[in-house]
Amino acid sequence: MAQLSNPDTLVKVAKTLPPRLLEFFRRFPPTNDYATGPQRPTLPPPSESPSLTPATDILKASIVWTDPTFNPFQPWKNPITGRWRGAMYGLRRQADIVNMARRYGVEELLPHSAKLGWVKEEKREQHGLRVKGTGERQRVKGKEWERTQKGRLEKRREAMLKMPEMIQTWKERGHGRGWKKWPK
């Protein structure tokens, strides 16, 4: 990010970008204000901009282009009508753009998206592979035979170590005639 914050570097980088990415950045210039979740813009207080009439304020907040936090990768709620508008870019197109940006090293300039590398990594860390037991502080329970396998093998190993001695005793006691310890 440190490199990309320099305007000269940005211009240099921009010259190498493919038209599709350039067009995206033209429509949505990189800012730090992008919302990271679904957006619910609030109406700006009228005292802040006295030159605007309340009607204009409402109009301004209800248009995505004048909302500085508008994120084309997230759904947006119109403050006047209360209706939700879907993300401007669907998940497939988001993935296309993110992948392209990653190839050109400008992924961090994009608005927040579920397709961004670090967002995905964070999610992966939190939830694991969505397979029960692979997340943080989780362990795979396993089948019962898997859980008891170690103990059983150990028991078997010990029994096999004692086996020659046991067979010797069995032979000495008349092949079972004097045997007392029958298994249950």
Partner 1 sequence: MARRAKSRTIAVRIISMAMTGYYRTMVRPRTSRPLSMLKYDPVVRKQVLFLEQKRGGNK
Query: Alpha helix locations (H) across 4-116?
Result: 7-16, 19-27, 54-61, 91-103
Position 179 contacts partner 1 (CB under 8 A): yes
Position 160 contacts partner 1 (CB under 8 A): yes
Which is nearest to 113 in space by CA: 137, 88, 144, 78?
A: 88
Segment interacting with partner 1 (CB under 8 A) among 11-19, 27-35, 112-120, 176-184:
176-184
Which is nearest to 93 in space by CA: 123, 72, 107, 119?
A: 72
Position 82 contacts partner 1 (CB under 8 A): no
CB closer to partner 1 out of 59 and 159: 159
Tokens found for residue 175: 């092949």
CB closer to partner 1 out of 48 and 172: 172
Residue 170 in contact with residue 179, Cβ under 8 Å?
yes
Segment interacting with partner 1 (CB under 8 A) among 4-12, 21-29, 60-68, 150-158:
150-158
Q: Which residues of this chain interact with partner 1, rule CB under 8 A?
A: 152, 155-156, 158-160, 163, 166-167, 170, 175-177, 179, 182-184
